[in-house]
Each structure stands twice: as structure tokens, then as C-alpha cells.
Amino acid sequence: MERSASLVPQFAQRIESLERQAGSPLAGRLLRGLEKESLRVTPAGQLAQTPHATLLGSALTHPSITTDYSEALIELITEPRGSAALVLQELSDIHAFVYRSIGDELLWNSSMPCPIGGDAEIPVARYGSSNVARMKTVYRLGLGHRYGRLMQTIAGIHYNFSLTDPFWEWLLEREGSTQTLRDFKTAQCFALIRNFHRYSWLLVYLFGASPALCSSFVRGGSHGLSPLGTGTLHAPYGTSLRMGDLGYQSDAQRSIDIPYDNLDEYVAALNRAIREPHPAYAAIGTRGKNGEWLQLSTSLLQIENEFYSTIRPKRVTRSGESPRRALAERGVEYVEVRCLDIDPFEPAGIATSTMRFLDAFLLYCLLANSPPSDGAARERSRENFRQVVMRGREPGLALARPDGSAVGLQAWALELLDGIDRVAAMLTDEEDGGYTAAAAQARARVMDPDLTPSARVLVALDGGKHSYADFALEQSRLHRDRFLDDSLPDGVLSGFERDALLSLEQQRLIESRDALSFDDYVAAYYRQ
């Protein structure tokens, strides 16, 4: 059974060592980047049926503008940067360029989608005729067969977080570890991930912004939601329906229990899921009646990205390399946080203060004691997360600590914030006091749930006088106007235009160099 890691000696010792440094080992050594998804919609708020705009370049090769599951689900990607403010500025610049390239369409600035009639209205993302492009599309076709295409219209924000080697070198020396830097860094990242799973319910409470959705999303299925006016369903105390059972979940997904105690076990578990046939997916098969590809495989997972985790250990991959092989050979490079809703009140979908809190929260998860986690403990963490998704603002909500004992959400959140405050205070000089302010804002939301984004969304719906669809469309229009009103410096604009042209040329080059048949390409990928 696990011990609680909130106030154990390791955190105190590590944070005190950092605080004693004349020059903080953290100064300038945090990097963060964003990946923000948004549905393209018509001016009337219907899902766009148009292809990815040529002015935006190639969705296959462009470094900062691509698509995800659906052709209409655009994804905007920033570089990893040492300043949260600079990351937000880059994301805002990308938005401004996109809006100058997509005509009268809008970016739906909310996590749950616009009204949709059915799967036939949802175009699967296309990336060209090359093998790598076809594999991306077939994977998405498989997701549609497995989960339904409606899942491919849910949007969120991924937060990529890393620390530079000088910090890891300092921590390795402080701990007196005999591991190589690569192995030490990898082990510490897995410790961070274990604590993230224990405490990520706090992020969903603080930043969840999807307590309601358009009723077309559930189409009469079992959902446990309450009506709110016409065309809207909601969870009265909910925080993030996107992260609940209505999201990318299924019995098959719930059957996968991935351990995070070390890299070898993690990769081995993913390998088993990618190789293990699943009866329901075997019934679909990989080919249709006319020989067309339906999915990449009949296994529990087609590829590791299908495992919809709230955080992933990541490493930049080489061309044609699987993520698990990259991790196994070269270790963890960064972590990707995947449980953030789009904030409909923020033009780019996220606030600088949110990023600063995430930095402090992730550093707390790294510095605090993080014992190994067995299956029962992992299930307790998942159940806490589910409870906060559906009932996070409910007065008196109780959760289960890692050791199984009951604790009130507010009391536990305040405990965690005591540690996070110390991290924020150490970071606060980095960006003019912004970290301390971000931690104070989080504490205020814990004390008053009405300050959370999820509560603010329900206030905006005004008891059902406004539908979820009308609210999201109005917010998207307001943000579109802001981005079109802002000037985009000539150098920034020309840079985006150059990247678009170069990406189209790169796609043509990839297509001209394919030497394998698609069948052989897929087989070679799975042999890794």
C-alpha cells in the first residue's frame, strides 16, 4: 500500500536544497510548449466540410499547423520555450495566421464539439499519398470503427514540459546517484508521472471547462447528464466531461492497465497491448470487402497513441520510428500533459497563469516522494479522477488518498497547494511574480468553486437560457475578431507563409521517395 507523498521528507529536503542555492538550479531551465486542437466550423457553427486549407501548408509536414483525428480538427503547435508568456504569444500568432487563411470559418474555442448530425458528417484527416500519410489516415479510420467518429471532434490542449540537462545534473549529484544521466532523468520522469496520476484530479478541478455539451453528442445513449434548456446537457457539479466516460473511453481502453514504475515495464505493457488481438476489433478486420484498409491491426491498440492517458512520457522520434522504440533506446525527453480543456474565456484557449501553475505542479510531482504504484493504487487514482470529472464542485466531495483513506477534496487540495506554493515562490522571479499569483489564483478556486472555469461556463448558460452551442459559437466569434484585429508583424507573417510553402514541398518529396508498398511499410513498422 502506498504512503501519501504530499508532505514526506523527500520533498522538504529537495525543496530546501533548491532554496539554499545562490543561483537557483531552475533558473532558465524549464521548457514548455503547447499543442492546441480546435474544430473548424462554419459561421453558423456547423462542422466545416472543407479540406485543410492549402494556404496553411501540409498537415503532414508543417512544424506548427497540422490536423488531428478529423480533417476539421486543426492542431496548432508551439516551440518549447523558456517563458510561458512567449509560448502564449507564439500560439496567438499562429491563431492570427490561421484566421487569415481559412476565409470565414471559425475555430471552435471549446473542448466539446458543435452540433453534429452523425459520423457521416465528420471527415477523417488526410495527409497525402505517401506511406506515412496513409498510415496516419488508416489509424484514424480505425479509431472511427472502434469508438465512433464523434470522438474525433473532441478538442483539448497538450502541455509539453521538460527540464534542461543542467538541472538534471544538479539533481543527480545531489542524490548521489550512480545512474547515467539518461537513466536518471528517465527514472525521475516516471516518478513525476506516478505522482501526476495521484494528483491530476486537482488540475481537472482547477481548469476543467466542459461541464456541458450539445445534446447531439450523446444521441440518446446512456450518459447520466441532466438537461439544461434546449439542446444542452450538463453535469451540475461537473468539471470536464471531455475527460470522462463520454470521451475516448471504451471497455477495451479500461482493460489496459499500464504501469509507470520504470521504462522497461511501461514499454513491455504497451508492446503487449499492441500485439494482443481483441475480439471486437478482430470482428471488424483490417480490410473491407473491396480490400480497402479499415484499421491498422486488430489488437487492443493499433499504435501506442491510441492509449488515451492523461500524461505520456515522450521522446522526439526519428522518421518511421515508433514512440515506444524511441523511448526504449534513448529514454524520456519530456512529458506531455493531456488533461487540459480548452478555456472558452481565453482567446488562445489557455491563460499564462494556467501554464505557470502547471510548471509548479509538475515540479512538485517531480520533487515529492513517489513510491511504486500497484494496480489497486492506480485504480484509486483513476476513480478520484472520474469523481472530480463528474462531481468536482460538489460540496463535501470525498476522495481516496494513495493509502486508501478518505479525505475531502478541499482539504487535500489545500495540502497539495502548501507544497506547490513553495515551488511557485522559488520560481516567481522568473516572470515578475507570475508564479506566486498563479498559485494564489488556484487557492482561491479551491476555496470558492464558483471561480473555476467550469462554474463560469454554467453561469454563462444562465440556467438554460443560452445553449452550449450558442455560448461556444459566441465566444469563438469574439476571439476570431480579436485575432483579426491584432496586427501580425510582417516578419512573422512571411515566416508562416514560408513554412507553408516548404511543408508542401516536403510532402511532395516524401511522396516521391516511397520505395515500399503500403502493406510492407505497415509490416516494417510493427517489426520494430
Residues ≥6 apart with Cβ < 8 Å to 229 = 461, 463, 464, 465, 466, 467
Answer yes or no: are the C-beta atoms of 122 and 116 closer than 8 Å.
yes
Residue extents of the structural domains in the chain: 9-526
Report the pLDDT value the prediction gives residue 3, as an integer from 0 to 100: 43
Mean residue pLDDT across the chain:
94
Higher-confidence position of 334 and 118: 334
CA distance 86 to 83: 5
Answer yes or no: are the C-beta atoms of 369 and 3 closer than 8 Å.
yes
Instruction: Indicate if the pLDDT at residue 8 is higher than 70.
Output: no
446-481 pLDDT, tens digit each: 999 999 999 999 999 999 999 999 999 999 999 999
Answer yes or no: are the C-beta atoms of 229 and 239 closer than 8 Å.
no
CA distance 56 to 54: 5
To the nearest whole percent, how much of the chain has pLDDT over 90? 88
Report the pLDDT value the prediction gives residue 486, as an integer from 0 to 100: 87
- Residues in the chain, how many? 528
Burial bucket for residue 239 (CB in 10 Å: 0-12, 13-18, 19+): buried
Instruction: Indicate if the pLDDT at residue 5 is higher than 60.
Output: no
249-302 pLDDT, tens digit each: 667 777 788 999 999 999 999 999 999 999 999 999 999 999 999 999 999 999
Q: For 479-488, which contacts have Cβ atoms below 8 Å and span 24 or more sequence positions?
A: 479/95, 479/107, 479/109, 479/347, 479/348, 480/99, 480/106, 480/107, 482/347, 483/92, 483/95, 483/96, 483/99, 483/347, 484/96, 484/99, 484/100, 486/92, 486/96, 488/93, 488/96, 488/97, 488/100
Q: How many CA atoms lie within 13 A of 134 on its CB side?
A: 18
Report the pLDDT value the prediction gives residue 4, as an integer from 0 to 100: 45
Higher-confidence position of 375 and 381: 381
CA distance 436 to 353: 10
Instruction: Indicate if the pLDDT at residue 224 is higher than 90.
Output: no
Report the pLDDT value the prediction gives residue 1, as an integer from 0 to 100: 43
Higher-confidence position of 1 and 317: 317
To the nearest whole percent, how much of the chain has pLDDT over 70? 97
Residue 336 bridge partners (DSSP): 160, 312
Segments of 200-285 assigned E as strands: 212-214, 226-227, 232-234
Supply 383's cell numbers.
Answer: 476513480
Q: How many CA atoms lie within 13 A of 384 on its CB side?
A: 30
Instruction: Indicate if the pLDDT at residue 144 is higher than 80.
Output: yes
Supply 13's cell numbers.
Answer: 529536503
Report the pLDDT value the prediction gives residue 430, as an integer from 0 to 100: 59
Instruction: Indicate if the pLDDT at residue 149 is higher than 70.
Output: yes
151 Ramachandran zone, left/alpha/beta (phi>0; psi -120 to 50): alpha
Residues ≥6 apart with Cβ < 8 Å to 504 = 54, 57, 58, 61
Instruction: Indicate if the pLDDT at residue 7 is higher than 50.
Output: no
CA distance 130 to 514: 7
Supply 518's cell numbers.
Answer: 503500403
Average pLDDT over residues 146-165: 95
Q: For residue 3, what is the DSSP state? A: P
Instruction: Indicate if the pLDDT at residue 360 is higher than 50.
Output: yes
Is the domain 9-526 a CATH 3.30.590.20 member?
A: yes
CA distance 102 to 85: 26
CA distance 343 to 330: 35
Average pLDDT over residues 198-221: 94
CA–CA–CA angle 199, 80, 35 (5° rounding): 65
Report the pLDDT value the prediction gives residue 167, as an integer from 0 to 100: 95
Higher-confidence position of 224 and 254: 224
CA distance 56 to 66: 8
